[in-house]
C-alpha cells in the first residue's frame, strides 16, 4: 500500500508537504505542488481515510437507518439521502431495522463503532428513544425522518399526518361514505398514532361515529393476513364498512389482496385509500387513491440537515421541517355512493 511517505520520497519533500497538497491547505509553491501531484499520479496514491479519521475525528460516513429499503416509500427516501450525501462528499451506510428495536440497537452500536459523522433515522418506535440517547452520548448528530419521537433535541423532517388523513377521509365522506374502517400500525410509531388520531378527529368533525370494531391494527411485519378483516366482512351489508383507510401503501396492498380473497372488488364493493404513492406502479395502472408524500425529500433534506450539523453550519436551535402531502384521487376510492 503506498503511503504519504512514498509520495514524499519520490517528490523529494516531507510528508507534511504532501499532506498539504492533498488537503489544499496552507501555501505551497506551484513548483512543489506540481512535483507532489505528479508523484501522486504516478503511484496511484489514494489517502487512507482510516488514518485521516483517526486524526480528524471525522469519517465522512453517514448512515441511513430505515425499516426496509424494499418499501417503496423508503426506497425513494434512500435515493434522496444517497444523492445528498454524495453531493457533499459523504458515503452512506444503509441499515434495515425491519421494525425491530433490537436490530436497531445493534445497528446503532455498529455505527457508533464506525464513528459515523451523522445518522438519518426513521426510528422503529417510541422505544427508540434509548438508541437515540446512545447516539447523543457519543455526540453523533442525527435527524429524525418521517417518524417523530417526543422530547428529543434534534432536527426533524416530518410529514403532515393530520392533513394527509383529513384529505383522504374527506374525499371519502364527500363521496357519501359513512362507515369508514381503518387499518393502522402500532401506536408506538408516531405516524401511525397521528393518523389514528386524525382519523378519530375527522370523523367526529363530520358527525360520524367512531366504531371501535372498525379499527384494525397491523404489526407492520411480514405476515400476510390482516387479523380482524374477515370478521368485518361477515357483517350484514348495511353494517359493514363501505371504505377502508389504510395507513400506508404496504398495508393497502395487503388489504386489497385480502378483500379480493373475500370476494370483494375494489372499488366497486369497497373503496380503499392510503398514504404514500407506488411510483412505478402508477405509470402502468393509476389505481390507488393516496395522500402522496415527497419521499425523496425526506431523505434529501434529512441528510442535508445532519450534514449542516456535522459541519457546524446549523443554527443553535433544532429545526423541524414539515413536508406536505398531496391528495391524488384515482380509481381505488371509486365514485360517489348512494346508500
Partner DNA sequence: CTGTTAGCGCCTTCAG
Partner DNA sequence: CTGAAGGCGCTAACAG
What residue ranges bind a second copy (CB under 8 A)? 1, 44, 46-51, 53-54, 57, 59, 61, 63, 68-70, 72, 75-76, 78-79, 82-83, 86, 91-96, 107, 109-115, 134, 137-138, 249-250, 253, 256-257, 278-281, 283-285, 287-288
Q: Does 222 bind DNA (CB under 7 A)?
A: no
The DSSP code for 206 is T
Stretch 28-47 residues interacting with DNA (CB under 7 A): 28-29, 31-33, 47
- Please pick, from the candidates 42, 56, 114, 213, the single residue that binds DNA as defined by CB under 7 A: 56
Distance (Å) of CA 25 to CA 20, 89, 161 = 5, 18, 48
Q: Choose from a second copy, DNA, none: what does 72 bind? Cβ within 5-8 Å by kind.
A: a second copy
Q: Does 14 bind DNA (CB under 7 A)?
A: yes
Long-range contacts of 96-100 (CB under 8 A, 24+ apart): 96/66, 96/67, 96/68, 96/69, 97/65, 97/66, 97/67, 97/68, 97/124, 98/67, 98/68, 98/221, 99/67, 99/68, 99/124, 99/125, 99/219, 99/220, 99/221, 100/124
Q: Does 336 bind DNA (CB under 7 A)?
A: no
We find the least distance from the C-beta atom of residue 197 to a second copy, in angstroms, to be 28
Q: Give which of 6, 43, 52 is closest to 25, Cα–Cα.
A: 52
Part of the chain binding DNA (CB under 7 A), chosen from 6-14, 97-105, 160-168, 231-239: 6-14
Q: Does 27 bind DNA (CB under 7 A)?
A: yes
We find the least distance from the C-beta atom of residue 90 to DNA, in angstroms, to be 16
Cβ 62 vs Cβ 117: under 8 Å = yes
**What CA–CA distance (Å, rounded) separates 243 from 272?**
6
- Please pick, from the candidates 34, 38, 41, 51, the single residue that binds DNA as defined by CB under 7 A: 51
- Name which of 96 and 202 has its Cβ closer to a second copy: 96
Distance (Å) of CA 103 to CA 55, 97, 149, 323 = 31, 5, 18, 28
Q: Does 22 bind DNA (CB under 7 A)?
A: yes
Beta strands 155-159 and 320-323, pairing class? parallel
- Name which of 139 and 338 has its Cβ closer to DNA: 139
* Positions in the binding site for DNA (CB under 7 A): 1, 3-5, 12-20, 22-23, 25-29, 31-33, 47-48, 51-52, 54-56
Amino acid at each position: 500500500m503506498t503511503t504519504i511517505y512514498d509520495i514524499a520520497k519520490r517528490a523529494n519533500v516531507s510528508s507534511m508537504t504532501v499532506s498539504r497538497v492533498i488537503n489544499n491547505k496552507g501555501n505551497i509553491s506551484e513548483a512543489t505542488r506540481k512535483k507532489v501531484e505528479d508523484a501522486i499520479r504516478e503511484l496511484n496514491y489514494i489517502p487512507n481515510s482510516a488514518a485521516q479519521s483517526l486524526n480528524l475525528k471525522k469519517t465522512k460516513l453517514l448512515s441511513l437507518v430505515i425499516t426496509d429499503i424494499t418499501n417503496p416509500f423508503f426506497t425513494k427516501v434512500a435515493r434522496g439521502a444517497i444523492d445528498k450525501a454524495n453531493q457533499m462528499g459523504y458515503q452512506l451506510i444503509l441499515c434495515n431495522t425491519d421494525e425491530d428495536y433490537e436490530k436497531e440497537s445493534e445497528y446503532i452500536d455498529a455505527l457508533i463503532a464506525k464513528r459515523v459523522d451523522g445518522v438519518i433515522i426513521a426510528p422503529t418506535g417510541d422505544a427508540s428513544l434509548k438508541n437515540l440517547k446512545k447516539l447523543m452520548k457519543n455526540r453523533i448528530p442525527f435527524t429524525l425522518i418521517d417518524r417523530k419521537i417526543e422530547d428529543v433535541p434534534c432536527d426533524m423532517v416530518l410529514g403532515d399526518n393530520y392533513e394527509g388523513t383529513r384529505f383522504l377521509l374527506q374525499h371519502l365522506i364527500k363521496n357519501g361514505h359513512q362507515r369508514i374502517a381503518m387499518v393502522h400500525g402500532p401506536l408506538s410509531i408516531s405516524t401511525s398514532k397521528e393518523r389514528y388520531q386524525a382519523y378519530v378527529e375527522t370523523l367526529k368533525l363530520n358527525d360520524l361515529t367512531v366504531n371501535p370494531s372498525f379499527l384494525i391494527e397491523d404489526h407492520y411485519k411480514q405476515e400476510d393476513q390482516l387479523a380482524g378483516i374477515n370478521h368485518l366482512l361477515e357483517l350484514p351489508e348495511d353494517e359493514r364498512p363501505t371504505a377502508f383507510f389504510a395507513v400506508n401503501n404496504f398495508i393497502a396492498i395487503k388489504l386489497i389482496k385480502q378483500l379480493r380473497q373475500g370476494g370483494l372488488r375494489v372499488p366497486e364493493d369497497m373503496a380503499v385509500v392510503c398514504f404514500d404513492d407506488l411510483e412505478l406502479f402508477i405509470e402502468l395502472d393509476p389505481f390507488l387513491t393516496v395522500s402522496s408524500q415527497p419521499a425523496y425529500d425526506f431523505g434529501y433534506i434529512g441528510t442535508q440537515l445532519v450534514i449542516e450539523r456535522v459541519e457546524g453550519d446549523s443554527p443553535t436551535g433544532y429545526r423541524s421541517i414539515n413536508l406536505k402531502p398531496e391528495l391524488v384521487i384515482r380509481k381505488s376510492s371509486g365514485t360517489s355512493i348512494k346508500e
